[in-house]
Amino acid sequence: MDIKAPWELPGLSGGLASYRYRFLAEGDSWFSIGELPPWATSNLLFELRQSSLKNDVVVNCAHQGDTLTHMVEMWHDANFTGLLDGPIQRPWDGILLSAGGNDLIDASLVPGSEPSHKRLLLLPHERPEQPSLGSDYVSETGWQLFLSYLQANIQTLIERRDHSPSHASQLGWKAPIFLHTYHQPTVRNAPAGPLGPWLYKAVTQYHVPEPHWQLVGDELFSRLRSALLGVASDSDRVFVFDSSGTVTLAAAVPGSTGASGDWQNEIHLTPQGYRKVASALLAFIESHIP
């Protein structure tokens, strides 16, 4: 499997025709080039390439410095939209999307000065008097807004795929859209160089008691998993690989500040961690490609 950046396509001898399958990819930091530090990090697509010996290609629009903090940003990525249904559109055998994780993190960091329907976490005076569950810290109106946003962006992708060369209506064929769930990270002060930490920053910003940090992190990522699994649709050919329910990863040790278990930092995996996910993801993708 080859991974190409969009700007490499004009220089390809024979274009994409020589490949068995052609995938278009867009996404957050799980698809982008690892660089902090470069010798220790990886990404899911890189390990997917390492796991496959097939003559396939992924054209990855999630390049370094251009990852999705918000899903809606993919509609402003001229590389992705151009290749999907724009001026340089072409038929794809599949669309790979890593999305929702960075959105969740960013939403958890919305300042407490915002109204509750615009944030995921509750302020201390908005919670039950003695919170004991992760859900006691979550703004339900904020979650519903986040869920609607997630679903709307997936629906937009479906509609744009259906009006592109990747939908051959006369043949009854649509390029499948593949997403994945995320494993629940250990909430800890483990940044990636100048970036992060993420959940740790959110729970401390909202004055969540330390014994409940992990409850909050697990609650948010459990909800995200359910939300992503909920957009799966055989009729729309949207398939969600349940990474967190399929692949066992070694959790990071609470309180650790660097690489621990299969985690390079608070929310990103080590090369070994990504390799575990990639191997299972590859089998999942191939099970849905004719």
Least confident interval from 119-128, 146-155, 171-180, 228-237: 171-180
Cis omega (within 30 of 0) for bond into 185:
no
> Long-range contacts of range 163-166, CB-CB < 8 Å, 24 or more positions apart?
163/85, 164/84, 164/85, 164/89, 164/91, 165/85, 165/89, 165/90, 165/91, 165/92, 166/24, 166/84, 166/91, 166/92, 166/95
pLDDT in tens, 251-264: 999 999 999 999 99
Helices and strands (H and E) in the chain: how many: 8, 8
Instruction: Give the CATH number for residue 15.
Output: 3.40.50.1110
pLDDT in tens, 192-230: 888 889 999 999 999 999 999 999 999 999 999 999 999
pLDDT in tens, 155-187: 999 999 999 999 987 767 899 999 999 999 999
Q: In the block, which residue shows the tokens 């769930």?
A: 181
Global pTM value = 0.93
Is-contact 258 191, C-beta < 8 A? no
Domain of 58? 2-287
Closest among 279, 277, 286, 241 to 56, alpha carbons compared: 286
Domains: count for the chain: 1
If one compares 69 and 81, the residue with the highest pLDDT of the two is: 81
Say if strands 177-180 and 94-98 run parallel, antiparallel, or are unpaired. parallel
Furthest-apart CA atoms within the chain: distance in Å: 66
What is the separation, in whole angstroms, between the first and last Cα of the chain? 17
How confident is the model over 122-146, as a mean pLDDT? 98
Distance (Å, whole) CA 145 – CA 148:
5
Per-residue pLDDT at 131 exceeds 80: yes
